[in-house]
């Protein structure tokens, strides 16, 4: 369904009954990336939001991470959700963590997959903004298909080549179905280079946190080990023979981790 808050219209799916789980996808994705995981969790009320610039929410302009968190808060209130567990992948994980840092009283549990609390220093953020500007230039000048071709060749996603062809094609279709201007707006509003760091808030978030990372994802293994030490209640779950997208590469293992964590 489409719901409007603060003059911005979001696509949000609401299925099932029970404990509410809010799923948030990564950059270039949409709520469709969670289909296999959702199917394995029939006992929960599953909510999936398409973030700004993506999926059926589409291009709603440049929206900051803090604005998205506030919008999600109002959307959940409107849907009668008093407390929620969040599951976020990559950009969606950063969004979930930003939401949790702003509204900790509303969060029951937090699952972060291949996510980070942002970049600590202004120098790091400036460097990342410069790299994102190159991505924006590619989207503006060559379009969504050329961008997707180059995006899929990033070393970060090399392990995706080993997943079943049907699943790989589904992921590519998700990416190609997005709009170039929407992705540009997403980078300008929610990119790692413009997002404020929330590293300093981790020690204040005293609820159960599940950190999921692929064994092959060296960068995020290191980040998540550090995050585990800073959260009051956190545990890293390493998914063997997986890279940056464990829920797609090893959906059964990912779902079992989530199911056990939610008990």
pLDDT tens for each residue of 207-232 = 999 999 999 999 999 999 999 999 99
Domain boundaries, the chain: 2-262
CA 141/CA 206 separation, integer angstroms: 45
> Which CATH number describes the domain made up of 2-262?
3.40.50.1820
pLDDT value for 168:
84
pLDDT < 70 stretches in the chain: none
pLDDT value for 249:
94
CA 255/CA 263 separation, integer angstroms: 13
């Amino acid at each position: 369904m489409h719901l409007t808050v603060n003059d911005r219209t979001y696509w949000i799916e609401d299925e099932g009954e029970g404990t509410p789980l809010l799923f948030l996808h990564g950059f270039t994705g949409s709520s469709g990336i969670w289909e296999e995981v959702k199917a394995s969790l029939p006992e929960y009320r599953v909510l999936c939001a398409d973030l700004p610039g993506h999926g059926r929410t589409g291009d709603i302009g440049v929206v900051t991470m803090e604005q998205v968190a506030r919008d999600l808060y109002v959307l959940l209130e409107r849907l009668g959700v008093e407390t929620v567990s969040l599951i976020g992948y990559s950009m969606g994980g950063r969004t979930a963590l930003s939401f949790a840092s702003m509204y900790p009283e509303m969060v029951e549990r937090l699952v972060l997959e291949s996510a980070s609390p942002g970049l600590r220093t202004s120098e790091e953020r400036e460097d990342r903004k410069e790299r994102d500007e190159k991505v924006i230039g590619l989207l503006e000048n060559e379009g969504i298909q050329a961008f997707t071709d180059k995006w899929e060749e990033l070393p970060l996603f090399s392990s995706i080549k080993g997943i079943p062809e049907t699943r790989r094609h589904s992921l590519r279709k998700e990416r190609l179905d997005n709009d170039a201007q929407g992705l540009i707006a997403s980078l300008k509003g929610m990119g790692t280079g413009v997002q404020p760091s929330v590293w300093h808030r981790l020690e204040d978030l005293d609820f159960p946190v599940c950190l999921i990372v692929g064994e092959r994802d060296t960068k995020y293994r290191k980040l998540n080990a550090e995050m585990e030490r800073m959260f009051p209640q956190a545990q890293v779950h390493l998914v063997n023979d997986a890279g940056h997208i464990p829920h797609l590469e090893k959906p059964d293992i990912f779902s079992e981790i989530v199911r056990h964590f939610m008990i």
